[in-house]
Amino acid sequence: MFQRHSHPLLHKFAILGCAALLLSGSAMADGQLRSLPDPLQDLTSSTGQQTAVLAGGCFWGIDAVFKHVKGVTSTTSGYAGGQANSASYYQVSRGTTGHAEAVRVVFDPKQISYGQLLKIYFSVAHNPTELNYQGPDHGTQYRSAIFYSNDAQRQVAQAYIKQLQSMKLYPAPIVTQVAALAAFYPAEDYHQNYLALHPDQPYIVANDLPKLEHLRQEFPGVYQ
């Protein structure tokens, strides 16, 4: 299988086939789609918009999934975990900056909760059992990570991971990092809304379009 190229002007490619498709969702870790439980601990609704920052492999797929979730008002692909002077695709792709490819999700908590976003994140957006890689993409920049902006988010994220682990829903341990968000740096313009602009690219077809189909099947009430 082709891996993602590190040069910022080159595209990612993947061989089409069952092996690539089975890497598409977190509940597909052993080839079986699962329905995950609601978080036992969640944040109560509040006024105004809130933000979640999530990482799990290439930001193209994470961005595309949450763009199709009702209650999400905007998504931005970018970098989190490193310093401002290394927040560029060329540098991050080297895997030495501390950054992860991440997506900033702005949402209306009256329509969807932070915990429900995490349920989607663990169900269809990525595979939380893959350490420092995701499908064909390898390196710490593709790690599974939740970047929390306050202690309430941290508590919900840690509690949900503990809940899922205790239920033994995956064939391997969840390796998702829960880390404080120091800053989020938007990625270059050509990375924004990538799936919608390149729906026929082989990497997108193999790795990201199946995530949208899983979202539609598993979460019909919030799919848009």
Give CA–CA dist 133/143, Å, rounded: 6
* pLDDT (0 to 100) of residue 11: 40
Catalytic residue among 58, 69, 103, 118: 58
Look at the pTM and tell me if it is higher than 0.85.
Answer: yes
> Any alpha helices (H) in the chain, and if so which ranges?
18-21, 59-67, 89-92, 114-120, 151-167, 194-197, 202-203, 209-218
Residue type, 162: K
Give CA–CA dist 197/179, Å, rounded: 31
pLDDT digits (tens, 9 = 90+) for 19-64: 333 333 334 554 455 689 999 999 987 778 999 999 999 999 999 9
Give CA–CA dist 166/185, Å, rounded: 34
pLDDT digits (tens, 9 = 90+) for 183-213: 999 999 999 999 999 999 999 999 999 999 9
pLDDT digits (tens, 9 = 90+) for 125-175: 999 999 999 999 999 999 999 999 999 999 999 999 999 999 999 999 999
Give CA–CA dist 138/142, Å, rounded: 6
**18-218: CATH superfamily:** Peptide methionine sulphoxide reductase MsrA (3.30.1060.10)
* pLDDT (0 to 100) of residue 32: 53
H-helix or E-strand containing 179? strand 177-180
58 part of the active site = yes
Angle between helices 59-67 and 209-218 (to 10 degrees): 30
